[in-house]
Amino acid sequence: MRALIRPLILSGGSGKRLWPVSRDTMPKQFLTLHGERSLFQDTVLRVSDPNRYGRPVIVTALSYRFEVERQLRAIGLAATVLLEPEARESGPAILAGCLHIASEGDGEIALILASDHAIGRPEAFHCSVDEAVPAAAAGLIVTFGIKPDSPASGYGYIEPGQVLTGPVTRVSRFVEKPDRVTAVGYIASGFLWNSGNFLVQAEALIEEYARLDRNSFEAAKRAVDAMKPIDGALLLGVDYGATARSSIDYTILERTDLAAVVPAEWAWSDVGTWDSVWQIGRRDDAGNVVEGEVETLDSTNCLVRSCGTLTSIVGVRDLVVIVEPDAVMVADRRSAGSVKTLVDNLARRGVREAVAHARDYRPWGWFEIRDLGETFKVKRLGVYPGGRLSLQKHRHRAEHWVVVTGTARVTVDDTVSILTPNQHAEIPLGAVHRLENPGDSLLEIIEVQYGSYLGEDDIIRIDDVYDRAILTAAE
For residue 124, the Cα-to-chain-centroid distance in whole angstroms is: 24
Position 107 scores a pLDDT of 83
- Identify the CA nearest to 243 among candidates 223, 224, 263, 216: 216
DSSP state of 437: -
- Identify the CA nearest to 363 among candidates 232, 264, 259, 454: 232
DSSP secondary structure, 370-392, as one string: EEE-SSEEEEEEEE-TT-BPPEE
CA–CA separation, 358 and 350 (whole Å): 15
CA–CA separation, 22 and 120 (whole Å): 22
Position 469 scores a pLDDT of 52
Which domains does the chain show, CATH number per domain?
Answer: 6-269 (3.90.550.10), 283-348 (no CATH), 359-474 (2.60.120.10)
- Identify the CA nearest to 150 among candidates 263, 279, 289: 279
Q: Which residues of the chain have pLDDT under 50?
A: 470-475
Position 14 scores a pLDDT of 81
Position 154 scores a pLDDT of 86
Angle of CA points 213, 255, 203, to nearest 5°:
60
Angle formed by the axes of helices 202-212 and 90-102, to 10°? Answer: 130
Position 308 scores a pLDDT of 85
DSSP secondary structure, 12-63, as one string: ----GGGTTTSBTTB-GGGS--SSSS-HHHHHHHHT--TTTB---EEEEEGG
